[in-house]
Structure 1
Amino acid sequence: MRFKLLLVLLLLNTVLFAQRDRYIVSGPMIGHTELRSAKIWVEFKPEVRNIMVLYREKGTRTEKEVAFVYPGQNPYFNIAFYELNDLKPGTTYTYDLVSEDRQIIATGDVTTQSLWQWRNPAPDFSFITGSCAYFNEPPYDRPGRPYGGDSSIFQTMAKEKSAFMLWLGDNWYTREVDYYSEWGLHKRASRDRSMPVLQDLWKAMPHYAIWDDHDYGFNDGDMSYPFKKQSRDVFKSFWLNPSYGNSGDGVYSKFTWNDVDVFLLDDRSYRSNDDMADSVNGKPNAEKQMFGKEQITWLKNALLQSKTNANIRFRIIATGSQVLNPASPYDCFRRFPAEYND
Structure 2
Amino acid sequence: MKPLTTLFFCILLNSNLVGQENHIQLPPQLLSGPMVGHTTSSLANIWLETDKAADVKVHYWVESGSSPIVKGVAGGRTSEEAPHVGTVILDNLPARGILHYELEIDGQAVRPQTVQSFMLMPEPETTADFKVAFASCINPIRVPLQPIWTQVAIFNPDALLLIGDNNYMPMRPGAYEAPESTVSFALTRYHRYLRDIPGLRTVLATTPTYAIWDDHDFGPNNSDRTFRWRNLTLDLFKKYWPNPSAGTPETPGIFYSFKIADVEFFMLDDRYHRDPNEAPDRATMLGSGQLSWLREKLKASTATFKVIVNGHTMTIDRQDAGEYWANFGSERDDFLNWMFSEGINGVFFISGDWHVGSLSRIDFSKEGYPLYELISSNAAVHPVEADDHLYRQNRQTSGHNRRFDGPIINDILDYNFGLLEFSGKEGDRAVTLKLIDHRGEVRAAHVLREKDLTR
Q: TM-score, normalised by structure 1?
A: 0.79
Give, in whole Å, the separation in 1 of the partners of 2:101 and 2:145. 32
Q: Deviations over 1:75-115 (max 9, x none)?
A: 43332211101112222222111244553523622322222
Q: Which runs of 4+ in 1 moved over 4 A?
A: 59-62, 99-102
Assess if the C-alpha contact under 8 Å between 2:212 and 2:255 holds in 1: yes
Query: Shift in Å at residue 196 of structure 1?
Result: 2.9
Give, in whole Å, the separation in 2 of the partners of 1:99 and 1:149. 29
Amino acid at match of 2:210: Y
Q: Identify which range, 75-84 or 205-214, moves more after superposition.
A: 75-84
Aligned residue number for residue 58 of structure 1: 63
Aligned residue number for residue 259 of structure 1: 262
Aligned residue number for residue 128 of structure 1: 133
User: How do 1:101-116 and structure 2 match up within 5 A?
Assistant: 101=107, 103-106=109-112, 108-115=116-123
Aligned residue number for residue 286 of structure 2: 291
Structure 1 pair 57–150 and aligned structure 2 pair: CA distance change class (3 A): closer
Query: Shift in Å at residue 239 of structure 1?
Result: 0.7
Give, in whole Å, the separation in 2 of the partners of 1:127 and 1:243. 19
Q: Deviations over 1:184-233 (max 9, x none)?
A: 21121112222233211111210011100110011111111111111011
SS of 1:64's partner is strand
Structure 1 pair 227–102 and aligned structure 2 pair: CA distance change class (3 A): closer
Q: Deviations over 1:279-316 (max 9, x none)?
A: xxxxxx5x52100111111111110001xx2xx21011
Structure 1 pair 338–70 and aligned structure 2 pair: CA distance change class (3 A): same
User: How do 1:29-68 and structure 2 match up within 5 A?
Assistant: 29-44=35-50, 46-47=51-52, 49-58=54-63, 63-68=71-76
Give, in whole Å, the separation in 1 of the partners of 2:70 and 2:264. 34
Query: Shift in Å at residue 71 of structure 1?
Result: 4.7
**Unaligned stretches of 5+ in structure 1?**
1-21, 137-146, 278-284
Aligned residue number for residue 208 of structure 2: 206
Structure 1 pair 53–214 and aligned structure 2 pair: CA distance change class (3 A): same
Assess if the C-alpha contact under 8 Å between 2:144 and 2:197 holds in 1: no
**Does residue 1:91 correspond to 2:86, yes or no?**
no
Assess if the C-alpha contact under 8 Å between 1:89 and 1:113 holds in 2: yes
Aligned residue number for residue 245 of structure 2: 243
Give, in whole Å, the separation in 1 of the partners of 2:33 and 2:128. 28
Aligned length: 293
Assess if the C-alpha contact under 8 Å between 1:30 and 1:202 holds in 2: yes
Structure 1 pair 108–178 and aligned structure 2 pair: CA distance change class (3 A): farther
User: How do 1:1-342 and structure 2 match up within 5 A?
Assistant: 23-44=29-50, 46-47=51-52, 49-58=54-63, 63-71=71-79, 75-101=81-107, 103-106=109-112, 108-115=116-123, 117=125, 122-136=127-141, 147-148=142-143, 150-175=145-170, 179=176, 180=178, 181-247=183-249, 249-277=252-280, 285=281, 288-306=283-301, 309=302, 312-327=303-318, 329-342=321-334
Q: Identify which range, 190-199 or 157-166, moves more after superposition.
A: 190-199
Assess if the C-alpha contact under 8 Å between 1:116 and 1:123 holds in 2: no
* Aligned alpha-carbon RMSD (Å): 2.3
Structure 1 pair 100–299 and aligned structure 2 pair: CA distance change class (3 A): closer
Highest CA radius of gyration, 1 or 2?
2
Query: Shift in Å at residue 169 of structure 1?
Result: 0.3
Assess if the C-alpha contact under 8 Å between 1:76 and 1:183 holds in 2: no
Structure 1 pair 293–99 and aligned structure 2 pair: CA distance change class (3 A): closer
Query: Shift in Å at residue 56 of structure 1?
Result: 2.0
Structure having the higher strand fraction is 2
Give, in whole Å, the separation in 1 of the partners of 2:40 and 2:310. 22
Aligned residue number for residue 377 of structure 2: none
Give, in whole Å, the separation in 1 of the partners of 2:150 and 2:184. 31
Query: Shift in Å at residue 34 of structure 1?
Result: 1.1
Give, in whole Å, the separation in 2 of the partners of 1:113 and 1:230. 33
Give, in whole Å, the separation in 2 of the partners of 1:27 and 1:152. 20
Assess if the C-alpha contact under 8 Å between 1:178 and 1:184 holds in 2: no
Assess if the C-alpha contact under 8 Å between 1:40 and 1:83 holds in 2: yes
Give, in whole Å, the separation in 1 of the partners of 2:108 and 2:269. 42
Query: Shift in Å at residue 270 of structure 1?
Result: 0.4
